[in-house]
Chains A and B, each alone.
Chain A
Amino acid sequence: MTRAFTPYILILPSFLLAAAIVLWPVEEIVSLATHDVNRFGMLRDFVGLANFRSLLADPDFWTSLWRTLIWTAGVVLGTLIVSMPIALILNEDFYGRGLARILIMLPWAVSLAMTAVVWRWALNGESGMLNSALRDLGLMDHNIQWLAQASTAFPMQILIGVLVSIPFTVTIFLGGLSSVPDDLYDAAAIEGAGRWDQFRLITFPLLRPFINIAFVLNTIYVFNSFPIIWATTQGGPANSTDILVTYLYKLGFRVGRLGDAAAVSLIMFAILLAFTILYVRLAMREEAAA
Chain B
Amino acid sequence: MLRLGDRAETRRRRKHFHGSETMKALKKALLVAGACLLSASAAEAGTVRVTIAEYSKGTGPYFEDAAKAFEAANPGTKIQIEVVPWDNLQQKLTTDIAAGANADLSIIGTRWLLDYVSQGVVAPLDSYVTPDFKARFIPTFLTPSIMNGHVYGLPIAASARAMYYNNDIFKKAGYDSAPATWADFKTAAEKIKATGGGVFPFGMQGKEIETDVYFYYAMWSYGGDIVKDGKSGLDSQAAIEAAKLYKSFIDGGLTEPGVTSYNREDVQNLFKQGKVATVITAPFLSGQIKKEAPNLNYAVAPIPAGPTGDQGTYGVTDSIVLFANSKVKDEAWKFLDFLFTTDQRTKFDKVEGFLPVNAEEAKNPIFADDRDLKVFASLLPKARFAPVIPGWEDIAQTTTNALQKIYLGQGQIEPTLKEAAAKIDETLSKK
> Does A149 lie within 8 Å of B408, measured CB to CB?
yes
**Is B143 at the interface (CB under 8 A from chain A)?**
no
Interface string of A239-250 (1 = CB under 8 A from B): 100000000001
Which secondary structure dominates chain A's binding surface?
A: loop
User: Judging by beta carbons under 8 Å apart, are A236 and B208 in contact?
Assistant: yes
Q: Which residues of A contact B257 (CB under 8 A)?
A: 125, 143, 145, 148
Q: Assuming the A-B contacts A126-B256, A237-B206, are A43 and B397 also in contact, with contact meaning beta carbons closer than 8 angstroms in the complex?
A: no
Chain A residues within 8 Å of chain B by Cβ, number: 33
Interface-facing stretch out of B42-50, B54-62, B90-98: B90-98
**If A126-B256, A126-B275, A238-B401 touch, does A39 touch B119 (CB 8 Å cutoff)?**
yes
B10 touches A42 (CB 8 A): yes
A95 within 8 A of B: no
Q: Is the CB of B97 within 8 A of A40?
A: yes
Interface presence of A41 (CB below 8 A): yes
Q: Tally of A-B residue pairs with Cβ under 8 A?
A: 103
Known contacts: A43-B17, A234-B208. The answer to whether A254 contacts B275 by CB under 8 A is no
Residues of chain B contacted by A147 (CB below 8 angstroms): 258, 260-261
Is B251 an interface residue, CB under 8 A from the partner? Answer: no
Task: Tell yes or no: B66 within 8 A of A by CB.
Answer: no
Within 8 A of A (CB), among B377-404: 391, 393-394, 397, 400-402, 404
A254 touches B393 (CB 8 A): yes
Residues of B within 8 A of A125 (CB): 256-258, 261-262
Q: Cα distance A45–B36 when bound, in Å?
A: 29
Q: Does A256 contact B (CB under 8 A)?
A: yes
A42 to chain B, nearest CB (A): 5
Instruction: Name the B residues within 8 Å of A250 (CB-CB).
Output: 397
How many residues of chain B have a CB within 8 Å of chain A?
43
Residue A212, interface by CB 8 Å: no
Out of B90, B95, B260, B401, name the residue touching A148 (CB < 8 Å): B260
Q: Is the CB of A40 within 8 A of B408?
A: no
A65 to B405, CA, bound (A): 20
Q: Tell yes or no: A183 within 8 A of B by CB.
A: no
- Contacts A126-B275, A148-B258, A255-B394 given: A238-B119 contact, CB under 8 Å? no
Asked if A279 CB lies within 8 Å of chain B CBs, one says no
- Shortest CB-to-CB span from A37 to chain B, Å, is 9
Give the CA-CA distance A180 to B241 in the complex, in Å. 70
Q: What sequence of 0s and 1s flags, for each residue 217-241 of chain A, a beta carbon within 8 Å of any chain B beta carbon? A: 0000000000000000110111100
Known: A31-B17, A143-B257. A38 touches B119 (CB 8 A): yes
A238: contacting residue among B10, B273, B410, CB under 8 A: B410
Judging by beta carbons under 8 Å apart, are A148 and B259 in contact?
A: yes
Task: Select which of A40, A41, A238, A252 is within 8 A of B404 by beta carbon.
Answer: A238
Q: Please, how many angstroms separate the alpha-carbon atoms of A127 and B208 in the complex?
A: 19
Contact of A41 among B98, B115, B270, B397 (CB under 8 A): B98
A285 part of interface (Cβ distance < 8 Å)? no
For B10, list chain A residues within 8 Å (CB). 42
In this complex, which of A28, A31, A143, A148 has the most chain B Cβ atoms within 10 angstroms of its Cβ?
Answer: A148
Interface residue from B14, B17, B270, B393 paired with A126 (Cβ < 8 Å): B270
| In the bound complex, CA of A236 to CA of B410 (Å) | 13
- Verify if A44 is at the interface (C-beta below 8 Å from B): yes
- Binary interface encoding of chain A residues 124-162 relative to chain B, with 1 for a CB under 8 A from any of its CBs, else 0: 111100000000000000010111110001000000000
- The answer to the question of B121 belonging to the interface, with a C-beta cut-off of 8 Å to chain A, is yes
CB <8 Å contact, B94 and A238: no
A62 in contact (CB, < 8 A): no
Alpha-carbon distance between A42 and B95 when the two chains are bound, in angstroms: 11
In the assembled complex, A253 has its CB within 8 A of some CB on chain B: yes
Query: A252 CA to B99 CA in the complex, in Å?
Result: 15
Report the Cα distance A239→B275, complex, angstroms. 28
Known pairs A42-B10, A43-B14, A238-B408 / 11 extra A-B pairs, C-beta < 8 Å = A43-B13, A43-B17, A44-B13, A125-B262, A127-B273, A147-B258, A236-B401, A238-B401, A250-B397, A256-B394, A258-B94
What residues make up the interface of B, taking CB atoms closer than 8 Å to A? 2, 10, 13-14, 17, 27, 90-91, 94-95, 97-99, 115, 119, 121, 206-208, 256-262, 266, 269-270, 273, 275, 391, 393-394, 397, 400-402, 404-405, 407-408, 410
A-B contact list, 14 entries, CB within 8 Å: A39-B115, A42-B119, A127-B269, A127-B273, A147-B261, A148-B257, A233-B261, A236-B260, A237-B207, A237-B407, A250-B397, A254-B393, A256-B115, A258-B98
Pairs A-B, 4 closest by C-beta atoms: A145-B258, A41-B98, A148-B258, A237-B404
- Contacts from A to B (Cβ < 8 Å): 28, 31, 38-44, 124-127, 143, 145-149, 153, 233-234, 236-239, 250, 252-256, 258
